[in-house]
């Protein structure tokens, strides 16, 4: 995580945004006491939203836990993709 104040961010916006995009960093811009902005790459945001969706219902959470248990116990399997 990279932290900057608004003045530093304004001075070097390109550098900060490059760090976020290229290194999957999360940027926190402090805007005063108990106030801030978070900037993250679109890939990181999409990943976070997908995780949030997967855990949004108890049914999805149980399915995910079950799949993780099967993987840990070696009860998973692989399949080859059919390429046309």
pLDDT surpasses 80 at 84: no
pLDDT in tens, 8-63: 999 999 999 999 999 988 999 998 888 899 999 999 999 999 989 888 889 988 98
The full set of domain ranges for the chain reads: 2-40, 43-72
Residue 78 is predicted with a pLDDT of 82
Nearest C-alpha neighbor of 37 from the set 18, 16, 23 = 16
Distance CA 63, CA 48 (A): 18
| Dihedral over Cα of 30, 28, 53, 67: its sign | negative
Q: The pTM is what?
A: 0.64
Pick the CATH number of 2-40 from 3.40.1620, 1.20.58, 1.20.1050, 3.40.50: 3.40.1620
Residue 30 is predicted with a pLDDT of 93
């Amino acid at each position: 995580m990279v932290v900057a104040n608004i003045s530093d961010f304004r001075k070097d916006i390109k550098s900060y945004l490059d760090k976020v995009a290229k290194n999957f960093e999360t940027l926190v811009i402090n805007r005063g006491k108990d106030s801030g902005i978070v900037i993250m790459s679109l890939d990181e945001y999409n990943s976070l939203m997908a995780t949030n969706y997967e855990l949004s219902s108890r049914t999805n959470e149980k399915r995910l836990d079950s799949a993780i248990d099967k993987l840990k116990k070696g009860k998973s399997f692989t399949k080859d993709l059919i390429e046309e």
